[in-house]
Amino acid sequence: VDKICISADSHVVESAEFFEPLKDMFGDRAPRVVTPDPALGPKLDLGNGNLGISISGLLQQNVDFTSPEATESLRLGYELARPGCYDTVERLKDQDLDGIHAEVVYPSVLFNVYQIEDLDIVKATFKLYNDWVGAYCKEQPDRLFALGSVQLYDLDEAIKEMERCKALGH
């Protein structure tokens, strides 16, 4: 019997453009990707004066994070991402290379949003992500499975979003 390997902890990478629809809703309070120091690469500006983790820090692989090489690679940002992080055709190539039949996918950059205090912004960002990841996974429905993500501050709203995710096919 052939064995099937399914990754239950894989990540997509939300592009800098992913956050743009939020600007229409929240203006300068919306999260967005910025590069305040080119040597340190892009970060998520949380719209409240705080910066999230370096995008590069989410993408570095197989490096000693204390090494000069790791520090130097911070400036690269999204250039460190494999195309499969956001392109489903490339994602299947990566799965085949790794001997993976299917994946349950989680966000990467989105986790920074938990640091935002404005619940309306948090809810809208998670809704945007859930719509995006649902569409991403529907492109390869036998091999990519979206795990809906919800805010953790308002239980009733979290349940509504989980139910919405289920209706979307997550």
Per domain, the residue ranges of the chain are 6-168
pLDDT digits (tens, 9 = 90+) for 23-33: 999 999 999 99
Fold (topology level) of 6-168: TIM Barrel (3.20.20)
Largest Cα–Cα separation, the chain: 56
How would you class 4 by CB atoms within 10 Å of its CB: exposed for 0-12, middle for 13-18, buried for 19 or more? exposed
Are 150 and 170 a contacting pair, CB within 8 Å? no
pTM, entire model: 0.89
For residue 48, the model assigns a pLDDT of 87
